[in-house]
Amino acid sequence: MYPVIRMVKELIKHRNDPPLTPMSTHVSQHRCWPWDIDLWMELNNGRTLTLLDLGRIPLARRIGLIAVMRKKRWSMTMAGVTVRYRRRIRPFEKFETRSRAVW
């Protein structure tokens, strides 16, 4: 299930952040909740990609892409993703995501 409450929280949290240039990086902090873990008691790989969306949407708003998408009736698609797993994320642990658009 998509974490709708988390998305609303992120949009409210970053609503007054200054605009970014198209090549800038949006940084957001999150927490691994018990429903995000797998059998090995770490952040589930599938949930990781869903949580990356929590940075992608505010990034699009901050670079002005949302306004253009509404005007032209476009939607946003992720054509590819590169994830770098640096270490395991355990339940209740805070972690940071950095989102950047690659043209």
- The pLDDT, as a whole number, for residue 68 is 92
- The pLDDT, as a whole number, for residue 33 is 93
- The pLDDT, as a whole number, for residue 96 is 92
In the chain, where the domains are located: 4-13+27-100
pTM of the predicted protein model: 0.81
Q: Determine which of 9-23, 32-46, 65-79, 87-101 has the lowest per-residue pLDDT on average.
A: 65-79
**Which two three-digit tokens encode residue 76?**
């946003």
State the average pLDDT for the chain.
Answer: 89
How would you classify the pairing of strands 25-31 and 94-100? Answer: antiparallel
pLDDT in tens, 32-66: 999 999 999 999 988 988 888 888 889 999 999 99
